[in-house]
Amino acid sequence: MPSGPVTESELLRPLVHGGEATWLQPLPDSLLGLGAPATAAIDRGSLRLAFVAALQLLAPRECAVLILRDVLDYPVAEAADILETSVAAVNSSLQRARARIRAAGVLQEQVAEPSDAEQRSWVVTGDVLMEMRPMVNWFSGRENYASFMGWVFAKAGKAWRLLPARANGQAGFAAYRRGDVGVFELHTLQVFTVTAGGIGRVSVFLDAEVFAAFGLAQKVDG
């Protein structure tokens, strides 16, 4: 992960695929019953907290248990069946996950969903982190993020369409780049981790299976 401004040689370095590494994939809000806050089948705040904590703190199994038990409210026996493990293992993983969150001081109010007015004025934080899964390339810090985006626009042009999307109780968008014939072609799905301080993490997904899960069209008109 770069510690200073990204140099041109670093920007031109090819993206490196992470192979079969385990990633926390985004889930469309529509599949999670996340409608209007008053009628949502799942508590948005709990899901956002679990997602943020999972990205920063938790192992994949701990994340899965936390979401099944504390977000989706599955009985422990059903969670054990889904994960093909024992009830004791589920309880142990849940205890570790909760302890990690408490130790890190991650609170639900810190990741509460901003108002519509706040969302329209979002800016990235000074220590924003951008990840491009399943690639292993990371960029940390506002200057590095801006440098990388400048390189993207220089290479891919400045003609884009952004269509709103929601994943894991968080805001985001599908980015479409204008191709040679003027049609906008699907490029990435980007999901934001946002607090009152701004956008602290941008998770960029390049996976065809993720695109399909969100029902994203491969091309849209200009």
Domains and CATH numbers, the chain: 8-15+114-220 (3.10.450), 29-111 (1.10.10.10)
CA 10 to chain centre: 24
Best-predicted range by mean pLDDT (23-27, 33-37, 174-178) = 174-178
pLDDT at 124: 80
Q: Of all residues in the chain, what percent are helix, strand and coil, respectively (each to 5)?
A: 40, 25, 35
Torsion sign over Cα 54, 56, 61, 66: negative
User: pLDDT tens across 14-28, in order?
Assistant: 555 555 444 556 767
Please state at what angle helix 87-104 crosses helix 76-83, rounded to 10 degrees: 100
pLDDT at 38: 45
CA distance 209 to 222: 25
Nearest to 156 by CA among 184, 123, 190: 184
Nearest to 50 by CA among 95, 101, 85, 105: 101
- pTM of the predicted protein model: 0.61
Instruction: Tell me the pairing of strands 124-133 and 198-205.
Output: parallel
Residue 5, burial from CB neighbour count under 10 angstroms (0-12, 13-18, 19+): exposed
CA distance 131 to 135: 8
More reliable by pLDDT, 35 or 126: 126
Q: What is the mean pLDDT of the chain?
A: 76
pLDDT at 68: 83
Residue 101 has pLDDT above 60, yes or no: yes
Lowest mean pLDDT among 86-90, 134-138, 209-213: 134-138
pLDDT class for 173, splitting at 50, 70, 90?
A: very high
